[in-house]
Amino acid sequence: MMSTYSQRLNQRIQQTRTPALAGIDPRFDWLPEEFRQRASAHPGGTRVCMARAFLEFSFELLHLVAPLVPAVKPQAAFFEQLGLPGLAALHAVMSTARKLGLIVIADSKRGDIGSTAEAYADGWLAGSDPDAAAWPADALTINPWLGTDSIQPFVDIAAKRGAGLYVLVRTSNPGAAQFQDRISDGVPLYQTVAGVVSQLNESTRSADDPWGSVGAVVGATWPAQLASLREQMPGVPFLVPGYGAQGGTSADTAGAFTSNGLGAIVNSSRGINFAWRRKPFSEQFGEQHWRESVVAAVHEMIADLAANTPAANLQSP
């Protein structure tokens, strides 16, 4: 029997005893010198060399975090900017993550109408079988701006393949309020989107999968709104960006969880990928020992979430 996205994710969260999500956000100028040096010596054009560096760095990151966290979130934009070599690197990173047993959330924020939405969904949502789509993602972030009919094709394919979705509801960036807080029919627009997400999520739930396939992106940088959205969407899985480098704290994320520690995953990208660039890891490890700093940063995040959220209540399956 095909497993659902939420079943696989929650099993991994319980196995690792943490909701920590490691983003994969390679930036060439921030990479350790060893990767940039090898890239400059690699035959091929600039983008080919940069893509090779991204690939090597991301592979090392995956092997470092795989024993510690349930999932990773590759940010497609950093790879796409390099053209075809970057796309090949992204695919290899996602495939390797799946082979390591990690849940893969593709952060691509797709969204369109009709047959175009169907094509995006068909291409990105592999779900339980990594070979079921061109891109081997367990789940995908999507943009709801075009309305419910632009989301439904993703929902249909997600349900068919055991994949997951995270719909942008309340994003973590400072400018989010410009549109998302606009009042429509007496409520902020983000609450209207949340209502649609709840309805779509309910249609994908079952006795075996009470969480369903349709989740919401809700930023840690808006803790009061995050808590109110959990009340509005009690059974919807949350993806919580904004922790760490963007200013959100573990306490800010606490409202996203149910009492047993499930219901949300919390992302950190820069804070893990480039941990050696910030204190105390810059002093403790430095660039030469960047691998140790990545592991230390993940352990720090895991402990931080356990100390200040219901993640402390997670039980092994």
Residue 112 lies in a domain: yes
Tell me the two tokens of residue 142. Answer: 């999507």
Q: pLDDT in tens for each of the 317 residues of the chain?
A: 789 999 999 999 999 999 999 999 999 999 999 999 988 887 788 999 999 999 999 999 999 999 999 999 999 999 999 999 999 999 999 999 999 999 999 999 999 998 999 999 999 999 999 999 999 999 999 999 999 999 999 999 999 999 999 999 999 999 999 999 999 889 999 999 999 999 999 999 999 999 999 999 999 999 999 999 999 999 999 999 999 888 899 999 999 999 999 999 999 999 999 999 999 999 999 999 999 999 999 999 999 999 999 999 998 87
pLDDT for res 158: 98
- Whether 274 is covered by a domain: the verdict is yes
User: Quick one: which of 114, 75, 103, 143 has its CA closest to 10?
Assistant: 103
The number of residues in the chain equals 317
In angstroms, the CA 30 to CA 151 distance is: 35
Q: Which ranges of 203-288 does DSSP label H, i.e. alpha helix?
A: 223-232, 250-253, 270-273, 281-284
Query: Is residue 92 domain-resident?
Result: yes
User: Quick one: pLDDT at residue 309?
Assistant: 98
What are the residues whose beta carbons fall under 8 Å from the beta carbon of 231, sequence distance 6 or more? none
pLDDT of residue 316: 81
Question: The CATH number of the domain where 167 resides is what?
Answer: 3.20.20.70
Distance CA 317, CA 114 (A): 40
Cα four-point dihedral sign 54, 55, 57, 61: positive
Return the DSSP state at 4. Answer: P
- Sign of torsion, CA 203 208 210 215? negative
**Residue whose tokens read 């075809």:** 84
Reference 141, options 121, 157, 160; nearest CA is 121
Query: Which range of residues forms the domain containing residue 291?
Result: 5-312
Domain contains 172: yes
Element (H, E) at 293: helix 290-308
Give the pLDDT confidence score for residue 287 in this predicted structure.
94
Whether 317 is in a domain gets the answer: no
Contacts of 201 (CB under 8 A, 6+ apart): 212, 213, 214, 215, 233, 235, 236
200-237 core/surface letters (b: 16 or more CB in 10 A; e: else): bbeebbeeebebbbbbbbbbbbbbebbbbbbebbeebb
* φ/ψ (deg, to 5) at 260: -90, 5
Residue 99 counted as domain residue: yes
Mapped onto helix, strand or coil, the DSSP state of residue 214 is strand
HEC string for 19-84: CEEEEECCCHHHCCHHHHHHHHHCCCCHHHHHHHHHHHHHHHHHHHHCCCCCEEEEEHHHHHCCCH
pLDDT of residue 317: 78
Determine, yes or no, domain membership for 48. Answer: yes
223 part of a folded domain: yes
Catalytic site residues?
Answer: 109
Contact call for residues 226 and 250 (beta carbons, < 8 A):
no
Rg, the chain, Cα only: 19
The pLDDT of residue 184 is 85
Element containing residue 146 per DSSP (H, E): none
How many domains does the chain fold into? 1
| pLDDT single digits (tens) 191-235 | 999 999 999 999 999 999 999 999 999 999 999 999 999 999 999
